Amino acid sequence: MNLLEVEGLEVRYGGIRAVKGIDLRVEQGELVCLIGANGAGKSSTLRAIVGITRAAAGSVRYGGAAIAGRPAFELVREGLVMVPEGRGIFHQLTVAENLAMGAFARDDAPAIRRDRERIFALFPRLAERRGQTGGTLSGGEQQMLAIGRALMSRPKLLLLDEPSMGLAPILVAKIFEIVRDVARQGVTILLVEQNARLALEASSRGYVMESGIITLADDAKKLLADPKVREAYLGEGVE
Protein backbone atom coordinates (compact mmCIF):
# COMPACT_ATOMS: atom_id res chain seq x y z
CA MET A 1 0.00 0.00 0.00
CA ASN A 2 1.25 3.49 -0.82
CA LEU A 3 1.52 5.61 2.29
CA LEU A 4 2.52 8.64 0.24
CA GLU A 5 1.57 9.34 -3.36
CA VAL A 6 2.69 12.48 -5.11
CA GLU A 7 1.44 13.26 -8.60
CA GLY A 8 2.31 16.15 -10.86
CA LEU A 9 3.68 18.19 -7.95
CA GLU A 10 4.82 21.66 -8.89
CA VAL A 11 6.41 24.34 -6.71
CA ARG A 12 6.96 27.90 -7.91
CA TYR A 13 8.83 30.79 -6.34
CA GLY A 14 7.59 33.84 -8.17
CA GLY A 15 8.19 33.03 -11.80
CA ILE A 16 10.70 30.25 -11.11
CA ARG A 17 9.51 26.64 -11.29
CA ALA A 18 11.64 24.85 -8.70
CA VAL A 19 9.68 21.57 -8.93
CA LYS A 20 8.26 20.88 -12.36
CA GLY A 21 5.55 18.30 -11.97
CA ILE A 22 7.00 15.22 -10.31
CA ASP A 23 5.53 11.87 -9.33
CA LEU A 24 6.76 9.79 -6.44
CA ARG A 25 5.41 7.26 -4.02
CA VAL A 26 6.49 5.68 -0.78
CA GLU A 27 5.03 2.39 0.32
CA GLN A 28 4.21 1.53 3.89
CA GLY A 29 7.41 0.36 5.63
CA GLU A 30 9.79 1.47 2.89
CA LEU A 31 12.92 3.58 3.15
CA VAL A 32 13.08 5.58 -0.06
CA CYS A 33 15.63 8.21 -0.93
CA LEU A 34 15.46 11.28 -3.10
CA ILE A 35 18.90 12.32 -4.24
CA GLY A 36 20.14 15.16 -6.36
CA ALA A 37 22.49 18.09 -6.52
CA ASN A 38 22.12 21.27 -4.54
CA GLY A 39 19.22 23.31 -5.92
CA ALA A 40 17.54 20.36 -7.62
CA GLY A 41 14.29 20.98 -5.75
CA LYS A 42 14.45 18.25 -3.10
CA SER A 43 13.68 20.47 -0.11
CA SER A 44 10.94 22.24 -2.03
CA THR A 45 9.37 18.84 -2.66
CA LEU A 46 9.39 17.89 1.01
CA ARG A 47 8.14 21.29 2.07
CA ALA A 48 5.29 21.10 -0.39
CA ILE A 49 4.32 17.62 0.86
CA VAL A 50 3.89 18.86 4.45
CA GLY A 51 2.32 22.11 3.31
CA ILE A 52 4.78 24.69 4.59
CA THR A 53 5.42 25.66 0.98
CA ARG A 54 2.35 25.91 -1.21
CA ALA A 55 2.18 23.53 -4.14
CA ALA A 56 1.36 25.32 -7.38
CA ALA A 57 -0.10 22.18 -8.90
CA GLY A 58 -0.41 18.46 -8.39
CA SER A 59 -1.79 16.21 -5.71
CA VAL A 60 -0.38 14.77 -2.52
CA ARG A 61 -2.10 11.78 -0.95
CA TYR A 62 -1.13 10.52 2.46
CA GLY A 63 -2.68 7.30 3.72
CA GLY A 64 -5.04 7.48 0.76
CA ALA A 65 -6.41 10.95 1.55
CA ALA A 66 -5.63 14.19 -0.28
CA ILE A 67 -3.71 16.51 2.03
CA ALA A 68 -2.96 19.47 -0.23
CA GLY A 69 -3.69 22.74 1.54
CA ARG A 70 -3.77 21.24 5.01
CA PRO A 71 -1.48 22.94 7.55
CA ALA A 72 1.62 21.09 8.73
CA PHE A 73 0.54 21.18 12.37
CA GLU A 74 -2.51 19.05 11.59
CA LEU A 75 -0.57 16.48 9.57
CA VAL A 76 1.76 15.86 12.53
CA ARG A 77 -1.23 14.49 14.40
CA GLU A 78 -1.69 11.97 11.61
CA GLY A 79 1.91 10.86 11.70
CA LEU A 80 3.35 12.85 8.81
CA VAL A 81 6.45 14.48 10.22
CA MET A 82 9.35 16.35 8.65
CA VAL A 83 12.82 17.04 9.99
CA PRO A 84 13.77 20.20 8.12
CA GLU A 85 17.06 20.94 6.44
CA GLY A 86 19.38 22.55 8.98
CA ARG A 87 17.68 20.57 11.77
CA GLY A 88 15.51 23.36 13.17
CA ILE A 89 16.56 22.88 16.77
CA PHE A 90 15.09 25.39 19.20
CA HIS A 91 18.34 26.91 20.37
CA GLN A 92 17.04 28.44 23.57
CA LEU A 93 15.06 25.42 24.65
CA THR A 94 16.76 22.64 26.55
CA VAL A 95 17.27 19.20 25.04
CA ALA A 96 14.42 17.91 27.19
CA GLU A 97 12.17 20.78 26.11
CA ASN A 98 13.01 20.19 22.46
CA LEU A 99 11.98 16.57 22.90
CA ALA A 100 8.83 17.65 24.69
CA MET A 101 7.98 19.83 21.69
CA GLY A 102 8.30 16.74 19.52
CA ALA A 103 5.49 15.21 21.55
CA PHE A 104 3.40 18.38 21.49
CA ALA A 105 0.67 16.79 19.41
CA ARG A 106 0.27 13.90 21.87
CA ASP A 107 -1.34 13.84 25.25
CA ASP A 108 -0.54 10.42 26.66
CA ALA A 109 1.90 11.61 29.31
CA PRO A 110 3.11 8.22 30.59
CA ALA A 111 3.79 6.97 27.05
CA ILE A 112 5.56 10.23 26.24
CA ARG A 113 7.83 9.71 29.24
CA ARG A 114 8.61 6.16 28.15
CA ASP A 115 9.38 7.35 24.62
CA ARG A 116 11.69 9.99 26.00
CA GLU A 117 13.61 7.39 27.94
CA ARG A 118 13.85 5.29 24.75
CA ILE A 119 15.28 8.29 22.90
CA PHE A 120 17.77 8.84 25.70
CA ALA A 121 18.75 5.17 25.53
CA LEU A 122 19.20 5.49 21.77
CA PHE A 123 21.20 8.72 22.11
CA PRO A 124 23.10 8.68 25.42
CA ARG A 125 24.71 12.02 24.48
CA LEU A 126 21.31 13.64 24.60
CA ALA A 127 20.60 12.12 28.00
CA GLU A 128 23.82 13.62 29.35
CA ARG A 129 22.84 16.98 27.97
CA ARG A 130 19.14 16.98 28.70
CA GLY A 131 19.32 20.21 30.69
CA GLN A 132 21.51 22.10 28.21
CA THR A 133 20.02 24.42 25.62
CA GLY A 134 19.90 23.17 22.05
CA GLY A 135 22.20 25.93 20.85
CA THR A 136 25.08 24.56 22.88
CA LEU A 137 25.05 21.16 21.13
CA SER A 138 27.45 20.19 18.36
CA GLY A 139 26.15 19.66 14.84
CA GLY A 140 25.95 15.90 15.24
CA GLU A 141 24.19 16.15 18.59
CA GLN A 142 21.73 18.62 17.09
CA GLN A 143 20.95 16.19 14.30
CA MET A 144 20.38 13.41 16.82
CA LEU A 145 18.13 15.75 18.75
CA ALA A 146 16.23 16.63 15.58
CA ILE A 147 15.65 12.96 14.78
CA GLY A 148 14.87 12.11 18.40
CA ARG A 149 12.43 14.98 18.56
CA ALA A 150 10.70 13.79 15.41
CA LEU A 151 10.45 10.26 16.85
CA MET A 152 8.75 11.71 19.94
CA SER A 153 5.74 12.42 17.75
CA ARG A 154 5.49 8.70 16.85
CA PRO A 155 5.65 9.32 13.11
CA LYS A 156 4.23 6.95 10.53
CA LEU A 157 6.03 8.69 7.69
CA LEU A 158 9.23 10.56 8.41
CA LEU A 159 10.59 13.03 5.87
CA LEU A 160 14.29 13.65 6.51
CA ASP A 161 15.93 16.57 4.74
CA GLU A 162 19.68 16.07 4.48
CA PRO A 163 20.33 14.65 7.95
CA SER A 164 24.04 14.21 7.19
CA MET A 165 24.58 17.78 6.01
CA GLY A 166 27.61 19.48 7.50
CA LEU A 167 28.68 16.53 9.65
CA ALA A 168 32.10 14.92 9.95
CA PRO A 169 32.36 11.56 8.13
CA ILE A 170 32.25 9.50 11.32
CA LEU A 171 29.02 11.23 12.36
CA VAL A 172 27.58 10.82 8.89
CA ALA A 173 27.99 7.07 9.27
CA LYS A 174 26.39 7.22 12.71
CA ILE A 175 23.41 9.20 11.43
CA PHE A 176 22.82 6.72 8.60
CA GLU A 177 22.97 3.90 11.11
CA ILE A 178 20.26 5.66 13.10
CA VAL A 179 18.13 6.20 10.02
CA ARG A 180 18.29 2.49 9.16
CA ASP A 181 17.48 1.68 12.76
CA VAL A 182 14.42 3.87 12.77
CA ALA A 183 13.30 2.29 9.50
CA ARG A 184 13.74 -1.19 10.97
CA GLN A 185 11.44 -0.19 13.81
CA GLY A 186 8.69 0.21 11.24
CA VAL A 187 8.76 3.92 10.48
CA THR A 188 8.37 4.66 6.78
CA ILE A 189 11.03 7.10 5.62
CA LEU A 190 11.52 9.41 2.68
CA LEU A 191 15.15 10.47 2.88
CA VAL A 192 16.52 13.47 1.01
CA GLU A 193 20.28 13.40 0.69
CA GLN A 194 23.22 14.75 -1.23
CA ASN A 195 25.32 11.85 0.02
CA ALA A 196 23.97 9.62 -2.72
CA ARG A 197 26.03 6.52 -1.99
CA LEU A 198 25.07 6.15 1.66
CA ALA A 199 21.48 7.09 0.92
CA LEU A 200 21.13 4.49 -1.82
CA GLU A 201 22.87 1.86 0.27
CA ALA A 202 20.36 2.41 3.05
CA SER A 203 17.29 2.54 0.83
CA SER A 204 15.20 0.02 -1.03
CA ARG A 205 14.30 2.43 -3.82
CA GLY A 206 15.58 5.80 -4.95
CA TYR A 207 14.61 8.82 -7.01
CA VAL A 208 17.11 11.07 -8.75
CA MET A 209 16.11 14.69 -9.11
CA GLU A 210 17.66 17.22 -11.48
CA SER A 211 16.49 20.81 -11.92
CA GLY A 212 13.00 20.14 -10.66
CA ILE A 213 12.44 16.91 -12.58
CA ILE A 214 12.76 13.29 -11.53
CA THR A 215 15.12 11.80 -14.09
CA LEU A 216 15.53 8.31 -12.65
CA ALA A 217 13.43 6.13 -10.39
CA ASP A 218 14.44 2.60 -9.60
CA ASP A 219 15.54 0.06 -7.03
CA ALA A 220 18.40 1.46 -5.02
CA LYS A 221 20.70 -1.38 -6.07
CA LYS A 222 20.07 -0.70 -9.73
CA LEU A 223 20.68 3.00 -9.24
CA LEU A 224 23.95 2.23 -7.48
CA ALA A 225 24.99 0.28 -10.54
CA ASP A 226 23.69 2.79 -13.07
CA PRO A 227 26.56 4.40 -15.00
CA LYS A 228 24.87 7.81 -15.09
CA VAL A 229 24.33 7.77 -11.35
CA ARG A 230 27.86 6.55 -10.76
CA GLU A 231 29.30 9.35 -12.79
CA ALA A 232 27.12 12.19 -11.60
CA TYR A 233 26.50 11.31 -7.97
CA LEU A 234 28.97 8.70 -6.78
CA GLY A 235 32.08 10.52 -7.93
CA GLU A 236 33.22 7.77 -10.26
CA GLY A 237 34.41 8.26 -13.77
CA VAL A 238 33.05 5.76 -16.29
CA GLU A 239 35.46 4.29 -18.78
Ligand X SMILES: Nc1ncnc2c1ncn2[C@@H]1O[C@H](COP(=O)(O)OP(=O)(O)O)[C@@H](O)[C@H]1O
User: CA 205, CA 26: separation in Å to the nearest integer?
Assistant: 9
76, 105 Cβ separation under 8 angstroms? yes
Binding mask 41-70 for ligand X (x = CB under 6 A): xxxx--------------------------
- The distance of closest approach from Cβ of residue 231 to another protein in the complex, given in angstroms and rounded to an integer, is 34
Neighbours of 109 (CB within 10 A): 9
Does 205 bind ligand X (CB under 6 A)? Our answer is no
H or E segment at 124? helix 124-128
- Of all residues in the chain, what percent are helix, strand and coil, respectively (each to 5)? 40, 30, 30
Binding mask 6-45 for Mg ion (x = CB under 5 A): -------------------------------------x--
Phi, psi of 41 (to 5 degrees): 110, 15
Query: Coil, helix or strand for 140?
Result: helix
C-alpha distances out from residue 78 to 74, 81, 157, Å: 7, 9, 9
Does 13 bind ligand X (CB under 6 A)? Our answer is yes
| Region near another protein per CB under 8 A, out of 15-23, 100-108, 175-183, 211-219 | 100-108
Does 63 bind another protein (CB under 8 A)? Our answer is no
Strand locations in 14-47 (E) = 16-27, 31-36
Scanning residues 64 to 93, which ones bind Mg ion (CB under 5 A)?
85
Does 18 bind ligand X (CB under 6 A)? Our answer is yes
Which does residue 13 touch among another protein, ligand X, Mg ion, none (CB within 5 to 8 A, set by kind)? ligand X
For another protein, the closer CB: 39 or 71: 71
Binding site for ligand X (CB under 6 A): 13, 18, 36, 38-44
